[in-house]
Amino acid sequence: MSAARWLAGGDWAAATHLGTAADAGDLVLAPATGTAARARHGIAFVPAGLPDPAQRDTTGADRWRRALVRLSAPLPAGCWLRLWTRTTSTTTPPPPPPRHDASAADGDRSPVPTPADRWRVAPTGATDVRVLCAPAAALWLALELGGDGTGTPRVADLRVETDDLGLVTRLPGVYRRLDPETQDMDDGDGLLGRYTGLLGSRLRETSSLLDELPALLNPAVTADRPDTPWLERLAAWVALDPARLPATPAHRRETVATAVERHAWRGTARGLLDAIRRETGVPVEVVEPLQDAVVWRLDPAAAATSALGLTTALVAADPGPPVLDRTALLDGSALVPPEDTGRPLHAHRAHRVCVHVPDGTPEQVRAVDAVVRRERPAHVLARTRATRPRTAVPSVVGRDHLPDAPVPGLADDVSYDARVDGPGRRIGTARLPGMPVSPTASGGLPASSAATAGPPASPPATAATEPPPATADPPESSAAAKGNPR
């Protein structure tokens, strides 16, 4: 049977402080007087007492044999700590360890055991120390902290254990015998016992790493600190950029844990929305124009698919490769290669994504657009725009609502592609073959296309300012001239 005891309990109330203090349950160097810096040296005394009598047996639980220092954070640069041990036959606190008087204390290379009422110091930085003092009575621990004034060690607690006699007990008795005459055996405090203790400490460290390996590979519990960036390593292993992980710890762990599943969404509207939400937190709407396309059919009962002029349009160009003397016109044809057959019919809708940022600021639009550019498929044209928030209240433009200035946005592509749209004039979503414009007085389209394209253009400003010329034509000829401008 072995015994163990935590000495501080998280508040360090049982400690005697000389230049140290308790801060959020940790033992630290006391703040320097009147400044924001820390003290450069401090010592805290903690009584360990004796093991619980109910836990004692004949296998080594009669006295404390091991002391462990548990740190709440790694030692900062310029900081250090040392552990001192002492057994005493009195209950009064012992004097402080003599730091500069080597004759009043035993070093880590001094003979074993250290007599009672005398301090023994462990190596600087050691957090797992074997108690090599004579088992006279109660054990006292002194934890010495030091630093350069800019930082402090943070000690969470101290633990003492009776433990067993170490790995030396597994050796044959002939190796453990100290004196053939007295038949004294090495109980772990001898030279061989201490060497095997060091070996056992290394073996425990290695085995603990193997035991903790499943936890290190679990994003929910793995370390996420600057000195142990295991979560960032896991992020790199699942093809995530550690620099783009969220700021909050819970979101960081959830992002890494669901990375493999979310990779299957990449390139879809769902994946785009998820990436924008995680990196910017801006609510957006992803619109795919091709999903709104319908097949036109003559059905008076279905107004959504039979609205002439709304669901119909002229073809931008011939759907396939041009044929001379039939579909290929000089300066009026879009040369479509065989691999792009059918593209003029659907290019204005297919492979396009519009990302709307309701009432978005220019900074929000830029942040969203950066994610869109990275996450969209290579063959998809994407546009990020700020839009006005929608409302369910009906309004009539010009009576209930006045159009404001256009909302700022960032364009990701161009609205005109000569290879897709073809040359000529645009009517709605179609593009007519190019044609020469006659130098008429109105400057508009010819009479044959004016009925298709809409009302004729307004006359030039110079013609509007000049008085009408005198004419003797009858009213019928004047009306005819107005209906057919030259």
Mean pLDDT of the chain: 75
pLDDT exceeds 70 at position 288: yes
d(CA 106, CA 125): 17
Confidence at residue 307, expressed as pLDDT on a 0 to 100 scale: 66
Q: pLDDT tens across 380-395, in order?
A: 889 899 988 665 555 5
- 355, 217, 390: which is closest to 275 by C-alpha? 355
Q: pTM of the predicted model, to two decimals?
A: 0.48
Confidence at residue 484, expressed as pLDDT on a 0 to 100 scale: 41
Confidence at residue 20, expressed as pLDDT on a 0 to 100 scale: 93
Task: Tell me which DSSP letter residue 189 carries.
Answer: S
- 346, 266, 313: which is closest to 428 by C-alpha? 313
Confidence at residue 445, expressed as pLDDT on a 0 to 100 scale: 39
Confidence at residue 36, expressed as pLDDT on a 0 to 100 scale: 73
d(CA 91, CA 71): 28
Say if residues 18 and 42 touch (Cβ distance below 8 Å): yes
* From 100-104, 107-111, 393-397, 412-416, the region with the lowest mean pLDDT: 412-416
Confidence at residue 408, expressed as pLDDT on a 0 to 100 scale: 46
Confidence at residue 395, expressed as pLDDT on a 0 to 100 scale: 53
Buried b (16+ CB within 10 A) or exposed e, 365-395: bebbbebbeebbeeebebbbbbbeeeeeeee
* From 156-165, 256-265, 338-347, 373-382, the region with the lowest mean pLDDT: 338-347
pLDDT exceeds 70 at position 55: no
Q: pLDDT tens across 351-361, in order?
A: 888 999 998 89
Backbone angles phi, psi at 346, to 5 degrees: -125, 0
pLDDT average, residue stretch 370-374 = 92
Residues whose CB is less than 8 angstroms from the CB of residue 317 and which lie 6 or more positions away in sequence, other chains included: 333, 334, 336, 344, 420, 421, 422, 431
- 387, 388, 376: which is closest to 412 by C-alpha? 376
d(CA 266, CA 274): 9
Q: pLDDT tens across 183-236, in order?
A: 667 666 677 777 777 777 777 777 777 888 888 899 998 989 888 899 999 999
Confidence at residue 325, expressed as pLDDT on a 0 to 100 scale: 62
d(CA 442, CA 463): 9
Say if residues 236 and 244 touch (Cβ distance below 8 Å): no
Cis peptide before 96 (omega within 30 of 0): no
What residue type is 452 in one-letter code? T
